[in-house]
Structure 1
Amino acid sequence: MEVLRHLGLIGLLLLAIYYVPSTAIPSSQCQKQCGGVEIHYPFGIGKNCSLEWFFSVKCQVQDDISKPFIGEFELLDISLTRSTVRVLNYIASFCYNPSSGLMEKEGFGFNATNTPYLFSDVHNKYTVIGCDALAYISDSNGMGYESGCVSKCRRLSDVTEGSCSGIGCCQTSIPKGMNFYKPDFDIGFNTTKIWRFNRCNYAVLMETTTFNFSSTYINTTKFNDTSAGRVPVVIDWAIRNGGTSCEIAKRNETGTYACISSNSVCMDSMNGPGYVCNCSKGYDGNPYLPNGCKDINECIQSPCPSGGICHNTNGGYRCSCRAGRKYSRQSNTCNPDTGLIIGATIGFLVLVTFFFSGYMILQKRKLKNVKREHFRQHGGLILFEKMKSEKGLCFTIFTETELVQATNNYDKSRILGKGGQGTVYKGLVKDNMHVAIKRCALVDERQKKEFGQEMLILSQINHKNIVKLLGACLEVEVPMLVYEFIPNGTLYELIHGKKQALRISFSTLLRIAHEAAEGLNFLHSYASPPIHHGDVKSANILLDENYTAKVSDFGASILAPSDEDQYVTVVQGTCGYLDPEYMQTFQLTNKSDVYSFGVILLEVLTGQVPLKLNGPEEQRSLSSNFLSAMKENNLDVLLPSHIKEHESTELIRGLAELAKQCLDMCGTNRPAMKEIADELIRLRKLSQHPWVQTDTQPESRGLLAGTPTTGFDDIEICASGYPMLDSDNLPMNPMSSYYGR
C-alpha cells in the first residue's frame, strides 16, 4: 500500500495568490520571542507585527512547550544577515511491512509556491539512506527538475561510519529557485531482500551541516525515531513580489520599499528574484526597521596595530598612534616618526645626562657623609688618635671597597660560616694575605659608642691561643671585622663533625683543651681591662695548621664593667653551654666562661654533643646527664669504649672531677681559668707518663678536693624563654666574630 502526502505551507498556500507587502510598522507590543527563538522583523507574531502575511509566525503550545511555526513547519531560527530561516522538514520513508510482506511508502512533499521562500541550494542536500535504495526528487511546478540518489550495500559491514558516499547513504545537490519538491522511491529497485537487515529506506531534503551519518540508521529506525520524523532544512527568503529587484523597489513602482532603516543597503537576492536588506558596513541590527541599523563599535575588536589608538566613528573607526609614531593605513602599522624621535631623543639624553650627573654628585656626597658618620659612631676617630699616639699598633682600618674586592663582592663560594651574629667570608687583602672577614648582623646604640674603644683593646691582645683581630671596617652601618685566617676548622668538628674520622688521640684533645684554657685565662687575667668571652664552646675553638687551639669569637665578649649597672646585658651564648646562674641574673662574669668550658671538657671526655634535640627530655642535656651519673657513681655509661679501654682511671676521674667543679651551680665555687689550666697540665702529664706521681702537686689536689657541687636535682638547663636551638638560631651579641663555623 502506497501512501503519499504532499504537505506544504498549508495556511500560506490558501493566500498565495496575491503577494502584496504591507506598509505597517510593527508595534512595540508585538511578541519578540517564542520558545527561545528570536522573531526578527519582517517576521512577526500577531496582527500587524510582520511585513506581510507570509512572514507571519504562529506561537503554539505543544506538550506544554511554546514553539514557533511558519505554516505547518516548526521554525528553528531566523537570520537577517543571510536572509534564511531554518525549519523542520518531514522525512519520507519506504519500509517493509511484515503483515503484508510488502514495502510501503510514506512521503511528505514541500510546496512553497507563490511565497517568499526558496530552498537553499547552498546549505541543503537531498539525502537518501538505505541499502538498495533509489529515491527521486522532482519539482513538478514548472522547472522540470528531476534527479535521484542511489544507495547500495550488500552487507551491513560494507557501511562506513560517518561516510555518506553511496554505500548505505548518498547525497545530491539541488538547483537554485526550487520552491517545491516531492520525494519518491523506486519500488522495483529493492529486489535483493535487503529488508532482512534493512527494514526502512529514507529520503529527505535537509541541512548538510547538521547531518552525520551513522551505520545504525541502516538496521534500525533510529534515524526516523531520534529526529521524530523531522530534520532541519534551510530556506532562503526575500522581498519578491513578482520579480522585484532593488532598482525597481527603490523607485517604489511595486509597493513600499522594505529597506527603511538609515545606514541600510539593498541587495538583489542570490536565489531567485527579489531583494534583501542589510545594514551598511560598520552598522549592525535590523535594516527593515526605522533606525534599526546601529553603529558597530569596531574598537572593541582592537583593529588597530599594537601601540595604536582606536577611535570609533559612525560606520567605521579611525586609528592613530602615540606621540613619535605615524599611522600607515596601507600596512596598518604604527611607524616611527623619525624626525620627532631624533629631536626628542637628543633633548632627552642631554636632560638625563645633566640630571644624572647632578644626582650622582649628590649621592656620592651623601654616601661620603653617611660613611663619615658611621666611622665617627663606631669610634674610628678614637682609633686614629690611638694609632697616632701608639706607634707600632698592629691594627688596620679597612675601607668598604677593599673588603668588597677581597671577598669578590661577598661571593657565596667565599663563605666560611654563618650564624645569628653574622656571616664570615674568606678574603685576600693586600700583600696576598688570607684573612677572615665577618659581616656582623647587628650592633646596638651602646655598642656603637664603645665599639672603637673595644676594638682598640681587642687589637692589642697578642696570645698564641687567641685568634688575632687584624682590623675593622667602620664606615658601614654595621662594622666588619678582619681576623687572621685559621685553616683547620674547629674543635667541635674534630669531636663531632666532619673531621671526626681523623681519630685524633685523647692526649691531643687534652692539649687542645689546655691551650684553649690558657687563651681564656689570658682574657680573664692579663687583658686590660679583663674580657669575659660570653660564648665559650667547642665551635669557637679554632685549630691552625698544627692543630694548635685558637680561641675565637671573643668579639662577642664584654669588657669587665667598672660599675654594677653595666653587668646587665642581653642574653647571649649557646644553649647547652649557658651558665644557669647567668640565665637567672643576666650578669656575665668570668665564672660564666668557666661553666661553658666545663661543657667542653665533657665533650672531650664523652664525645657527645652538649644538647640533643631528640630523645627523652630529661636526657637531652649532656651536663645534666653527667652530673646525674657522677651523683650515682655511674660515669661509665657516658664514656666511649676507646676512652675506657685505653685511658687510665685516674686520668678519667681527674678530668671528670675538673668538669664537675666547672659545672657547679654556684659561680663562686667554680675554679678560675688559671686553676683549670694548671690542672689540665697535670692531667696531660698523667696522660703522657701514667707512672709519674702526681701527688707532689698539692695545688691540683686541693682543686679536685674542693667543695662538693650541687646535685643534679638543682640544675636547670636552658631556662624557660630560651628555646633549645642550635647556636646559629640563638640571639647573640652582634660584635661576635663567629669565625670558622
Structure 2
Amino acid sequence: MIAPPSIAVAATPSLAKPGCDDHCGNVSIPYPFGIGSNCYLDQRYDVTCNQSFNPPIPYLTSLSLQVLSVSLKNKTVTINNPVVKGCRNSTGNEVLATSKSLEGTPFVYSGGYNKFTVLGCGNAILGRDGIVMAGCSSICNPNGTRQVMGCYGINCCETTIPFVLKSYHVSTQGDCVSGFLVDENWIGGYNISDPRYSVENIDLVPVALRWTLQKVDIPSCTRYKTTFQLPGSTLITTWYCKCGWGKEGNPYLADGCQGVGISMGALFLIIGIFWLYKIVLRLKNKKRKEKFFRRNGGLLLQHQTSVDKGSAEKPHFSAKQLEKATDNFNENRILGRGGQGTVYKGMLTDGRIVAVKKSKIVDESQLEQFINEVVILSQLNHRNVVKLLGCCLETEVPLLVYEFISNGTLFKHIHDQSNELPLSWEMRLRIATEVAGALAYLHSSTSIPIYHRDIKSTNILLDDKYKAKVSDFGTSLSIAIDQTHLTTLVKGTFGYLDPEYFQSSQFTEKSDVYSFGVVLVELLTGEKPISMSRTSEQRSLATHFLLSEEENRLFEIFDPQVLKEGMKEELIAVANLARRCLNLNGKNRPAMKEVATELEGIGMSNKKSSTVQTNFQELGCIGGAESVVLSYGNSTSMELILYNSTTSSSDGQPLLRNCV
C-alpha cells in the first residue's frame, strides 16, 4: 500500500526580532516595536513589559502609555489614552483642555480609526490652532425614556475627523460633558444606564495611533508610500512593507515573510484541490454578491425605477470594475471622508474620471429610505448638481459613482491662503447665484420637493471653469407636496445648523435657506463658520456677522478682496440678503427661489455697473439683537446671539436705513 504524499508546513514565523520576546502578557509586540535593548527599531518604539501585573502589561516607553494592541496590517498601536474632559465650572464658563502632544514622535492620532465622541448633555468641539475639525452635540435623556444601545445623539454623540493629528484641544459647553478621541469600535455597546460610561467614571479610553516610518527606516522589501494630511495643508509621508502573495509574517524583518513548503509528490494533488477550490469560491462569491445585492436593496431599486417613470435607470457597475478604477480603493485615491462614507478618485476603462463613494454599512431598517435617495438622485438633472452616474450593490456596502469635479471644494478656495487663484468678487457672486439656483430647483422644480439638509462650503464643488456643483445628498430627504416640515433626529454641521431646527427637530425648506445664508457670509467675509480665534460669543460666523452688522462695523469683517472689487451697493444688497436668510424665525426667511432671483438681479447690476449709490455710514443701522438659549431638560445646549426679528415689519425691509 502506497502512503499518501506528505505535506511539510513551515512553522509560524515570530513577529519579533530574533532572540526577543514577541509578547507581553496577552499583547503581541511585533517589530519595529520591541521589548528590551536591540529589539526595537529605535527608542521611540521601545516597549516596557511591567511584570508586576498578572498578566504583565506593556507600556510604550516614549509616551508612558499602556499598549492595548499593535496591528501590522493597519500600521497602528492602540494605547490607553487619558480622556480630555471637563464639567462646567462654578462660574458656568466653558472648559478647554488639550491632549498629549505627539510632536517629535513618529506617531499621530489616526483620523481613520478613531472618532470624536461626546458623553453627557451639551456640546463639544475638537480643534487645533484655531481650526475646528469636528463638533458634536448631545441632548439629555428625558426621564423614563428607554435608551437604545449605541450612540445616537441622546447623552452621547460621535462624529468622524478628517485629518491625522499631532495634538488637539477640546472645548466643552454643558453641565457635565466629556469630549474625547476614541477607537471607533469602543462605543458600540454604549448604554446610559451603565455606570462605566458615565462622565465621572471614564478616565482612560483606547485610541489608535498611526505609526509612521521613513524609507531609510525599513529593510529592503516591496515598499509602499502613502501620505496623510494634518490640519491645514501639511502632509506626512510614510512608508510601509507587506508580505507578498502566499507568504505571511512580519515584512519589517529580514526574512520575516515565509511561505508554505510542500513535497513534489503532492503537487498534482494541490493543483486539483486548488481548481476545485476556485470553482467552489466562484459559486460562493456569486451567491455572496446576490446576497449583498438583495440586502442593499437591488430588487427594490429595480422595482422603483420600473414603476417611477420620472427616474432614469442608472448603469450598474460591477465590484471588479470599481476596484480596478480605484486601485482597490487605495488610500492615495481618497478625495475626502464624510459622515456617509469615503470618496475615492477613479478612472473607468473608457477613460472617464469619476468619484466613487463607498458608503458606510446600510442599516437594513433604513433600506427603503436609502433606495429612495438613490431614486431621488436619479431624478436630478441640473447643471449645478453633481450627477449620479451609477451604482454597485453587489458589495458589502453600496458604492455610488458620480461625475468627478476637478477643482475641489468651495471651502478650500475660500479659506486656503496658498491658492494661486483667489476667488474674485465676481466669481463669488456667480457661485452664490448658481448654488441658490440649484437649491431652488430642489425645493420647487422637482416632482417631489427635496431638502438637502447639509448645505455647507465643503459640499459645494467647483469644476475646471469654477462652476458650482452641489454634492453629498447622503442625508437628503424628499417630502410630500402637502407637508411643511419633517421631524427628524437633528443632523447637520456646526456653524451651518439652523437654530430653529436644532430646537424643534423640525426641518423645513427654510432650514436649507439658513445654511445657505452662512455660505453667503463665508463668501463675503472669507471667515470660517466656526472659529476658535473669535470670542466665545462670536465663535459662530452667523452670530459674528449679525453682531458686526448691529455695531455698524460690518465692512471691517469683509474679505479685503471683496472690498477691493465689489461695489458698495452690491455688497450691501448681498449682506441684506444674508441677514434675511439668517433670521431666527424661519417663516421670515425668503424662499430659495426668491434668493436665487435676487442674486441674479445683483449679478445683472454688476455687469451693468449700476449707478445707485449707497452711503457706507448707513451700514449696520438695524434693530437690536437677542440672546437665545436652546435647552433640553436641565442642560443648556447652545446659546446664540441672533438678529431680533421683531424689529422688522416684513421680510422686504432693507438691511440699512438712515440713522436719525
* Structure-1-length-normalised TM-score: 0.46
292, 295, 299: which one pairs with 1:381? 299
Q: Tell me what 1:148 maps to.
A: none
Where 2:347 maps in the other structure, the secondary structure is: strand
Looking at structure 2, the residues matched to 709 and 436 of structure 1 have their Cα atoms a distance apart, in angstroms, of: 47
Q: 1:711 to 1:405 in 2, by over 3 A?
A: same
Letter in 1 for 2:628: D
Looking at structure 2, the residues matched to 548 and 636 of structure 1 have their Cα atoms a distance apart, in angstroms, of: 27
Residue identity over aligned pairs, in percent, reads 44
Kindly indicate whether the alpha-carbon contact (under 8 Å) linking 2:311 and 2:375 is maintained by their aligned counterparts in 1.
no
Looking at structure 2, the residues matched to 566 and 658 of structure 1 have their Cα atoms a distance apart, in angstroms, of: 23
616, 627, 630: which one pairs with 1:713? 627
Kindly indicate whether the alpha-carbon contact (under 8 Å) linking 1:665 and 1:715 is maintained by their aligned counterparts in 2.
no
Looking at structure 2, the residues matched to 433 and 410 of structure 1 have their Cα atoms a distance apart, in angstroms, of: 17
CA drift at 1:463: 0.6
381, 384, 388: which one pairs with 1:469? 388
CA drift at 1:652: 1.8
Where 1:504 maps in the other structure, the secondary structure is: coil
Looking at structure 2, the residues matched to 710 and 471 of structure 1 have their Cα atoms a distance apart, in angstroms, of: 51
CA drift at 1:532: 0.7
Mapping for residues 558-577 of structure 1, pairs under 5 Å: 558-560=477-479, 567-577=486-496
606, 610, 621: which one pairs with 2:529? 610
Where 1:555 maps in the other structure, the secondary structure is: coil
Check if 1:372 corresponds to 2:286.
no
Q: Tell me what 2:567 maps to.
A: 648
622, 633, 637: which one pairs with 2:552? 633
Where 1:435 maps in the other structure, the secondary structure is: strand
Where 1:416 maps in the other structure, the secondary structure is: strand
CA drift at 1:491: 1.4
CA drift at 1:433: 1.1
564, 573, 595: which one pairs with 2:514? 595
Q: 1:572 to 1:366 in 2, by over 3 A?
A: farther
Mapping for residues 269-348 of structure 1, pairs under 5 Å: 346=265
- CA deviation digits over 1:363-411, x for unaligned, max 9? 4444333322322233322433465676993511111111001111112
Kindly indicate whether the alpha-carbon contact (under 8 Å) linking 1:621 and 1:717 is maintained by their aligned counterparts in 2.
no
Mapping for residues 170-189 of structure 1, pairs under 5 Å: none
Check if 1:666 corresponds to 2:610.
no
Looking at structure 2, the residues matched to 436 and 497 of structure 1 have their Cα atoms a distance apart, in angstroms, of: 23
Kindly indicate whether the alpha-carbon contact (under 8 Å) linking 1:426 and 1:434 is maintained by their aligned counterparts in 2.
yes
- CA deviation digits over 1:148-191, x for unaligned, max 9? xxxxxxxxxxxxxxxxxxxxxxxxxxxxxxxxxxxxxxxxxxxx
- CA deviation digits over 1:120-158, x for unaligned, max 9? xxxxxxxxxxxxxxxxxxxxxxxxxxxxxxxxxxxxxxx
- CA deviation digits over 1:446-475, x for unaligned, max 9? 432233333123112111111101111111
Kindly indicate whether the alpha-carbon contact (under 8 Å) linking 2:333 and 2:346 is maintained by their aligned counterparts in 1.
yes
Q: 1:542 to 1:722 in 2, by over 3 A?
A: farther
Looking at structure 2, the residues matched to 466 and 709 of structure 1 have their Cα atoms a distance apart, in angstroms, of: 37
Q: Tell me what 1:511 maps to.
A: 430
Kindly indicate whether the alpha-carbon contact (under 8 Å) linking 2:442 and 2:451 is maintained by their aligned counterparts in 1.
yes
Looking at structure 2, the residues matched to 723 and 445 of structure 1 have their Cα atoms a distance apart, in angstroms, of: 37
Q: Tell me what 1:529 maps to.
A: 448
Mapping for residues 127-146 of structure 1, pairs under 5 Å: none
- 499-508 or 399-408: bigger deviation: 499-508
Kindly indicate whether the alpha-carbon contact (under 8 Å) linking 2:384 and 2:467 is maintained by their aligned counterparts in 1.
yes
Q: Tell me what 1:583 maps to.
A: 502
Q: 1:429 to 1:391 in 2, by over 3 A?
A: farther
CA drift at 1:358: 5.5
Check if 1:676 corresponds to 2:595.
yes
Q: Which has the larger radius of gyration?
A: 1
CA drift at 1:429: 1.5
336, 357, 373: which one pairs with 1:454? 373
Check if 1:423 corresponds to 2:423.
no
CA drift at 1:348: 9.3
CA drift at 1:477: 2.6
Q: 1:463 to 1:629 in 2, by over 3 A?
A: same
Looking at structure 2, the residues matched to 576 and 453 of structure 1 have their Cα atoms a distance apart, in angstroms, of: 28
CA drift at 1:607: 0.9
Kindly indicate whether the alpha-carbon contact (under 8 Å) linking 1:457 and 1:528 is maintained by their aligned counterparts in 2.
no
Q: Tell me what 1:403 maps to.
A: 322
CA drift at 1:587: 2.4
CA drift at 1:561: 5.2
- CA deviation digits over 1:708-730, x for unaligned, max 9? 99834237699966999xxxxxx
Kindly indicate whether the alpha-carbon contact (under 8 Å) linking 2:340 and 2:359 is maintained by their aligned counterparts in 1.
yes
Q: Tell me what 2:351 maps to.
A: 432
Letter in 1 for 2:589: R
Mapping for residues 191-210 of structure 1, pairs under 5 Å: none
Q: Tell me what 2:439 maps to.
A: 520
Looking at structure 2, the residues matched to 528 and 693 of structure 1 have their Cα atoms a distance apart, in angstroms, of: 40
Looking at structure 2, the residues matched to 723 and 626 of structure 1 have their Cα atoms a distance apart, in angstroms, of: 16
Looking at structure 2, the residues matched to 690 and 488 of structure 1 have their Cα atoms a distance apart, in angstroms, of: 30
Kindly indicate whether the alpha-carbon contact (under 8 Å) linking 2:630 and 2:638 is maintained by their aligned counterparts in 1.
no
Kindly indicate whether the alpha-carbon contact (under 8 Å) linking 1:606 and 1:638 is maintained by their aligned counterparts in 2.
yes
Kindly indicate whether the alpha-carbon contact (under 8 Å) linking 2:452 and 2:512 is maintained by their aligned counterparts in 1.
yes
CA drift at 1:486: 0.9
- CA deviation digits over 1:506-529, x for unaligned, max 9? 011100110011111111112222
Q: Tell me what 2:404 maps to.
A: 485
Looking at structure 1, the residues matched to 339 and 390 of structure 2 have their Cα atoms a distance apart, in angstroms, of: 22
Kindly indicate whether the alpha-carbon contact (under 8 Å) linking 1:379 and 1:453 is maintained by their aligned counterparts in 2.
no
Looking at structure 1, the residues matched to 562 and 361 of structure 2 have their Cα atoms a distance apart, in angstroms, of: 42
Where 1:556 maps in the other structure, the secondary structure is: coil
Looking at structure 1, the residues matched to 500 and 450 of structure 2 have their Cα atoms a distance apart, in angstroms, of: 19
* Structure-2-length-normalised TM-score: 0.51
Kindly indicate whether the alpha-carbon contact (under 8 Å) linking 1:464 and 1:550 is maintained by their aligned counterparts in 2.
yes
Kindly indicate whether the alpha-carbon contact (under 8 Å) linking 2:629 and 2:636 is maintained by their aligned counterparts in 1.
no
Q: 1:532 to 1:446 in 2, by over 3 A?
A: farther
Looking at structure 2, the residues matched to 520 and 541 of structure 1 have their Cα atoms a distance apart, in angstroms, of: 12
Looking at structure 1, the residues matched to 528 and 287 of structure 2 have their Cα atoms a distance apart, in angstroms, of: 48
Where 1:572 maps in the other structure, the secondary structure is: coil
Kindly indicate whether the alpha-carbon contact (under 8 Å) linking 1:686 and 1:694 is maintained by their aligned counterparts in 2.
no
Q: Tell me what 1:32 maps to.
A: none
Kindly indicate whether the alpha-carbon contact (under 8 Å) linking 2:517 and 2:578 is maintained by their aligned counterparts in 1.
yes
Figure out how many residues of one structure are paired with residues of the other and give that number: 369
Kindly indicate whether the alpha-carbon contact (under 8 Å) linking 1:379 and 1:450 is maintained by their aligned counterparts in 2.
no
Letter in 2 for 1:468: K
Letter in 2 for 1:635: L
Letter in 2 for 1:451: F
Kindly indicate whether the alpha-carbon contact (under 8 Å) linking 1:465 and 1:551 is maintained by their aligned counterparts in 2.
yes
Q: 1:625 to 1:471 in 2, by over 3 A?
A: same
Kindly indicate whether the alpha-carbon contact (under 8 Å) linking 1:507 and 1:688 is maintained by their aligned counterparts in 2.
no
Q: 1:366 to 1:668 in 2, by over 3 A?
A: farther
Looking at structure 1, the residues matched to 556 and 428 of structure 2 have their Cα atoms a distance apart, in angstroms, of: 21
Looking at structure 2, the residues matched to 387 and 643 of structure 1 have their Cα atoms a distance apart, in angstroms, of: 46
Mapping for residues 12-51 of structure 1, pairs under 5 Å: none
Looking at structure 1, the residues matched to 639 and 400 of structure 2 have their Cα atoms a distance apart, in angstroms, of: 29
Q: Tell me what 1:444 maps to.
A: 363
Check if 1:623 corresponds to 2:542.
yes
Kindly indicate whether the alpha-carbon contact (under 8 Å) linking 1:609 and 1:622 is maintained by their aligned counterparts in 2.
yes
Q: Tell me what 1:553 maps to.
A: 472
